[in-house]
A and B are shown apart, each in its own frame.
Chain A
Amino acid sequence: MIEPTTDKMLWMYEQMLIIREFEETMVNIYLEGKLPPEIQEGLAFDIGSGPVPGEMHLAAGQEPVAVGTCAHLKKDDTITGTHRPHHFAIAKGVSINALAAEIFGKVTGLGRGKGGHMHLFDVENKFGCSGIIGAGMPQACGAALAAKKKGKDWVTVTFFGEGAANQGSFHESLNLAALWNLPVIFICEDNSYAISVTKDESTAIANNADRAAGYGMPGVSVDNNDALEVFSVVGEAVSRARAGEGPSLIECKTDRYLGHFQGDAEAYRPEGEVEKLRENDPIDLLRDHLVASDAMSDDNEKEIKDRASATVKAAYEFARASDYPDTSEVAQHVFV
């Protein structure tokens, strides 16, 4: 078991608080301007209205995967993320202001408002993501190949859901990464649901980690949505990758507290499921550990919580206050 330092644990705790508050605040912001149905009679909700239009996939509950992983990453390490990307981006060190502004479609956003919440790119912090299921894995192999060719000890982490483990890109990428001994870590966020289809209904085996054996790489399953467990398992994989020992597959069982997207009626969820999941909240788990091990005093905790809230508040204020891109920009950036 690889143990984080106290500083790392406190960092993970604060990042989880920031992510949770960012996501849960967005739940309400997202509804602005979408209700009541003045826009069109008979409509319950209008996805294209309000300051944050379009689809919105939030990651509340899935924070341990992001922070337990990113605690090991340096600026030069690369991440490819998914359509549910905010927690990864925040934990990787992407500017939360530029992230929020991109979600608001503002010119100060990561992509000057051209990408939106599923398509976030930060060249400086080497972060990218995609709205297409399973699409990040091949590109992660390429980033890892680049690191190898440049003779750097950079690693690449590619996150994907358990639904993506049934895409061809997953299997092609695992084979390629193992074949070429690439410094890439495949991290499957298993939140049990591919929109409404449960893992039992989509996947022929219980643990995607077992699929690693088919490609000759280590596969480990983390079952408890515990940031410290994720930290330990990912730490080992990152060390292997940095040492030139090749790729790993890690499966993290985690919990999606909210719908697939906001506005999802979640008729497929058993009643009371989310309430039950929240009883074992991973943020509380880490907090209790920090308190029990005397790593965090009450004053410390308050300070961290206040700072996290202020960070999120400032980000959303920045996003709201920013300008939209001028329409003259619409044809720019098709090419560089």
Chain B
Amino acid sequence: MGNENNRELTMAAAISEGMAQEMERDENVFVMGEDVAKYGGIFGATGGLLDRFGADRVMDTPISETAFIGAATGAAAEGMRPVVELMFVDFFGVCMDQIYNHMAKNIYMSGGNVKLPVVLTTAIGGGYNDAAQHSQCLYGLFAHVPGLKIVVPSNAYDAKGMMIEAIRDDNPVMYFFHKGIMGLLWMAYFTGSTTHVPEEPYTVPFGKAKVVREGNDITLVTLSQMVHKSMQAAETLESDGISVEVIDLRTLVPLDKDTILNSVAKTNRLCVADEDYLSFGLSGEIVAIVAENLDSIDLTCPVKRLAVKDMPIPYSPPLENAAIPQSSDIENTIRGMMA
């Protein structure tokens, strides 16, 4: 921990601290979901909250995602500010109607009269051999549906600030945390995700991507855990004289198009590294935005996309490593683009 000036937190601790500070500030904030209370969230996002705030404000639910996620929407419509956890994003199939037909649409269908300040947190990502029903990212699917703000932090500093921003937002926010950057004691993680986190409450605004590494030769657009793989690749490439600009999108809705376009206008090359599925998703969207602006951008080589190539996430370690883009894949792809 150290002193205040250099205190570091894991992403899990940063998320729960953000929730706790908003719960202190606003009595309408409460947390519910499966195993969020006594267990503190399977991935630690609600750790310590039960002891501080009690069972009325930190509620374990039955395994009834339709009921309790729908209840979050209903409570938000009445002025509460629920934070509700869908344990794995993969479980959306049992409750998607409440998310995309109600949480996402009721504001619009009411002509803006209804406010829905609800935060739906969920765990994403593979890399630990949990196979096809517990390893997906799927943020692209939810970003495709109008009416949901989509937040995908890559590190503890952003995670706390974006959680506080999410809770204060009057719109539904889906908040995706990658299991492999939470800093759990039981799952290897990218240590770059554990960062300095100020103790006081602060917000990180939505719709502002972050240039996490400046470079001149190629723009690498990425997010979540893939930011860390991208940084590893960029460091290796730097020693070979290839200068990579890495952009962490941070939010998909709203999307910071300007930061992407400005960077590609400078580097004239674009690579997207994503852990979601390849086709009809995030990587295609980023490429399309650049393609729509080719009147002001010159590309010196074709764009490249790295993503899960349209198969379910396999179980066996060598297969999973082959399905999900790794640092070495990013590195090799960029070398090819610079050749």
Which A residues have a C-beta under 8 Å from some C-beta of B? 78, 80, 109-116, 119, 121-123, 126, 128, 130, 132, 135, 137-147, 149-150, 156, 168-169, 172-173, 175-176, 179, 332-336
Given contacts A111-B109, A123-B110, A135-B98, 12 further A-B contacts (CB under 8 A): A111-B111, A121-B109, A128-B114, A130-B102, A132-B101, A135-B70, A135-B101, A138-B69, A139-B77, A147-B78, A336-B107, A336-B115
Q: Are A336 and B171 in contact (CB under 8 A)?
A: yes
Q: Are A115 and B111 in contact (CB under 8 A)?
A: yes
Closest B residue, CB atoms, query A147? B78
| Chain A residues closer than 8 Å to B114, beta-carbon distance | 121, 123, 128
Interface stretch of the complex, out of B59-67, B155-163, B174-182, B263-271: B59-67
**Alpha-carbon distance between A115 and B73 when the two chains are bound, in angstroms:** 17
Q: Are A146 and B78 in contact (CB under 8 A)?
A: yes
The 7 closest A-B pairs by CB, nearest first: A138-B70, A142-B74, A112-B111, A139-B74, A142-B71, A121-B110, A146-B78
**Alpha-carbon distance between A256 and B66 when the two chains are bound, in angstroms:** 29
Partner of B75, one of A114, A126, A146, A169: A146
Q: Are B147 and A138 in contact (CB under 8 A)?
A: no
Closest B residue, CB atoms, query A122? B113
| Chain A residues closer than 8 Å to B43, beta-carbon distance | none
Q: Write the nearest CB–CB distance from B49 to chain A, whole angstroms.
A: 16
| Chain B residues closer than 8 Å to A116, beta-carbon distance | 109
Total residues of chain B contacting the partner, CB 8 A: 43
**Alpha-carbon distance between A132 and B101 when the two chains are bound, in angstroms:** 8
B200 at the interface (CB under 8 A from A): no
**Alpha-carbon distance between A147 and B75 when the two chains are bound, in angstroms:** 8
| Chain A residues closer than 8 Å to B164, beta-carbon distance | none
Q: A115-B109, A333-B108, A334-B108 are in contact. Are A145 and B171 (CB under 8 A)?
A: no
| Chain A residues closer than 8 Å to B61, beta-carbon distance | 176
B277 at the interface (CB under 8 A from A): no
Q: Are B64 and A149 in contact (CB under 8 A)?
A: no
Q: Write the nearest CB–CB distance from A109 to chain B, whole angstroms.
A: 7
Q: Write the nearest CB–CB distance from B307 to chain A, whole angstroms.
A: 27
**Alpha-carbon distance between A333 and B30 when the two chains are bound, in angstroms:** 26
B76 at the interface (CB under 8 A from A): yes
Partner of B74, one of A109, A123, A143, A168: A143
Q: Write the nearest CB–CB distance from B148 to chain A, whole angstroms.
A: 9
Q: Are B147 and A335 in contact (CB under 8 A)?
A: yes
| Chain A residues closer than 8 Å to B75, beta-carbon distance | 142-143, 145-146, 149
Give residues of chain B (58-106) contacting chain A, Cβ–Cβ below 8 Å.
61-62, 64, 66-80, 82, 94, 97-98, 101-102, 105-106
Q: A128-B114, A142-B70, A142-B71 are in contact. Are A114 and B108 (CB under 8 A)?
A: yes
Chain A to chain B contacts (Cβ below 8 Å), 10 pairs: A114-B111, A119-B105, A119-B106, A135-B102, A140-B74, A142-B70, A149-B56, A168-B94, A333-B111, A336-B112
B317 at the interface (CB under 8 A from A): no
Closest A residue, CB atoms, query B27? A149
Q: Are A115 and B68 in contact (CB under 8 A)?
A: no
Closest A residue, CB atoms, query B71? A142
B229 at the interface (CB under 8 A from A): no
Closest A residue, CB atoms, query B75? A142
B149 at the interface (CB under 8 A from A): yes
| Chain A residues closer than 8 Å to B112, beta-carbon distance | 112, 332-333, 336
B146 at the interface (CB under 8 A from A): yes
Q: Are B107 and A135 in contact (CB under 8 A)?
A: no
Q: Write the nearest CB–CB distance from B7 to chain A, whole angstroms.
A: 33
| Chain A residues closer than 8 Å to B80, beta-carbon distance | 142, 145-146, 149-150
Q: Write the nearest CB–CB distance from A167 to chain B, whole angstroms.
A: 9
Q: Write the nearest CB–CB distance from B242 to chain A, whole angstroms.
A: 40
B170 at the interface (CB under 8 A from A): yes
Closest B residue, CB atoms, query A148? B56
Q: Are A146 and B74 in contact (CB under 8 A)?
A: yes
Q: Are A138 and B110 in contact (CB under 8 A)?
A: no
**Alpha-carbon distance between A126 and B74 when the two chains are bound, in angstroms:** 11
| Chain A residues closer than 8 Å to B111, beta-carbon distance | 109-115, 121, 333
Q: Are B67 and A172 in contact (CB under 8 A)?
A: yes
Partner of B66, one of A138, A143, A146: A138
Closest B residue, CB atoms, query A131? B101
**Alpha-carbon distance between A149 and B76 when the two chains are bound, in angstroms:** 12
| Chain B residues closer than 8 Å to A121, beta-carbon distance | 106, 109-111, 113-114
Q: Write the nearest CB–CB distance from B207 to chain A, whole angstroms.
A: 11
| Chain B residues closer than 8 Å to A333, beta-carbon distance | 107-108, 110-112
Q: Are A139 and B70 in contact (CB under 8 A)?
A: yes
Q: Are B110 and A142 in contact (CB under 8 A)?
A: no
Closest B residue, CB atoms, query A169? B66
Q: Are A334 and B146 in contact (CB under 8 A)?
A: yes
| Max chain A Cβ within 10 angstroms of own Cβ: one of B70, B106, B146, B170 | B70
**Alpha-carbon distance between A42 and B284 when the two chains are bound, in angstroms:** 43
| Chain A residues closer than 8 Å to B56, beta-carbon distance | 149
**Alpha-carbon distance between A138 and B95 when the two chains are bound, in angstroms:** 11
Q: Are A145 and B67 in contact (CB under 8 A)?
A: no
Closest A residue, CB atoms, query B113? A123
| Max chain B Cβ within 10 angstroms of own Cβ: one of A138, A141, A145 | A138
| Chain A residues closer than 8 Å to B66, beta-carbon distance | 138, 168-169, 172
Closest B residue, CB atoms, query A176? B67
**Alpha-carbon distance between A176 and B310 when the two chains are bound, in angstroms:** 38
**Alpha-carbon distance between A115 and B106 when the two chains are bound, in angstroms:** 9
Q: A138-B67, A139-B102, A176-B62 are in contact. Are A334 and B74 (CB under 8 A)?
A: no
| Max chain B Cβ within 10 angstroms of own Cβ: one of A140, A156, A169 | A169
**Alpha-carbon distance between A210 and B140 when the two chains are bound, in angstroms:** 43
| Chain A residues closer than 8 Å to B107, beta-carbon distance | 333-336
**Alpha-carbon distance between A119 and B114 when the two chains are bound, in angstroms:** 12
Partner of A149, one of B30, B73, B109, B147: B30
